[in-house]
Structure 1
């Protein structure tokens, strides 16, 4: 191994690679490995991405742009309904949905909308968390004595020191 010299390493990418792949209403980088490219979809973490690829029987070391349209469609179907493809229900981000009672996995902009709906529902039923959200206070039991203070900073005024004593 040469030391002190610049060694150029060339990445070998196949000629037929899609550089931008559209999955779950999100544009993804096709040059990244499939599991890591899926992380750019809001609502998908690394464990869920690996479980999706395993359920789709896709090699996780492949680049996302190397996959054909049928494989991408299979990935999208699994993301939309993971429990149907034997992904455990505890891996989804919406276990036993309040409206439907089903185990759902919500991705993309729908995730933010559902999050806002949940907070509005808590406010409406006036649960403890809903009241804390409505008052813009800490929700999860944190102390509020020193943090989350509003308004301008107030300094401390000191007494004048007598000279000559």
Structure 2
């Protein structure tokens, strides 16, 4: 298996489909990277030479694409900033509620967690 930026990339897949295994690279970014590196997207990852792999790494670093740990760190810093300035988005992140204006009276279970029933208890 090829290893790029600390991520194992499967050998049997096309390089265009294998690059999105790296956190921060999607399908469209993978196409741009391969185009810039001058590599055929239909090649299998196992067929790539060391020279081609270094071209891919150079294309990613030269474009300034944040990937893996750097991207995770940047996202964490952004959330911390929103939280410290007490903006609405930061408060919603802190409370674990939907951030982008979704309805919360019903639904929103992915964000809010398991349903907690609140109300009067039946007397025994």
Q: TM-score range by the shorter chain?
A: 0.7 to 0.9
Deviations 1:56-89 (A, max 9, x none): 111111111211111111101111222xxxxxxx
Q: TM-score, normalised by structure 2?
A: 0.82
Distance 1:47 1:31 in 2: 20
User: 1:152 corresponds to which residue?
Assistant: 116
From 72, 77, 81, the equivalent of 1:117 is: 77
SS in 1 for 2:20: helix
Change (3 A) 1:73 1:144: same
User: 1:25 corresponds to which residue?
Assistant: 6
Q: TM-score, normalised by structure 1?
A: 0.63
1:113 Cα offset (Å): 2.2
User: 2:61 corresponds to which residue?
Assistant: 80
Distance 1:152 1:135 in 2: 15
User: 1:51 corresponds to which residue?
Assistant: 32
Distance 1:151 1:54 in 2: 48
User: 1:141 corresponds to which residue?
Assistant: 101
Q: Is residue 2:107 matched to residue 1:126?
A: no
Distance 2:88 2:24 in 1: 26
User: 2:16 corresponds to which residue?
Assistant: 35
Larger radius of gyration: 1
User: 1:64 corresponds to which residue?
Assistant: 45
Q: How many residues align?
A: 117
Structure 2 runs not aligned, ≥5 long: none
* Shift >4 Å, 4+ stretches: 154-157
Q: Tell me which protein shows more helix as a share of its residues.
A: 2
1:122 Cα offset (Å): 0.6
Compute the RMSD of aligned alpha carbons.
Answer: 2.2
1:125 Cα offset (Å): 1.5
Structure 1 runs not aligned, ≥5 long: 1-19, 83-103, 158-165
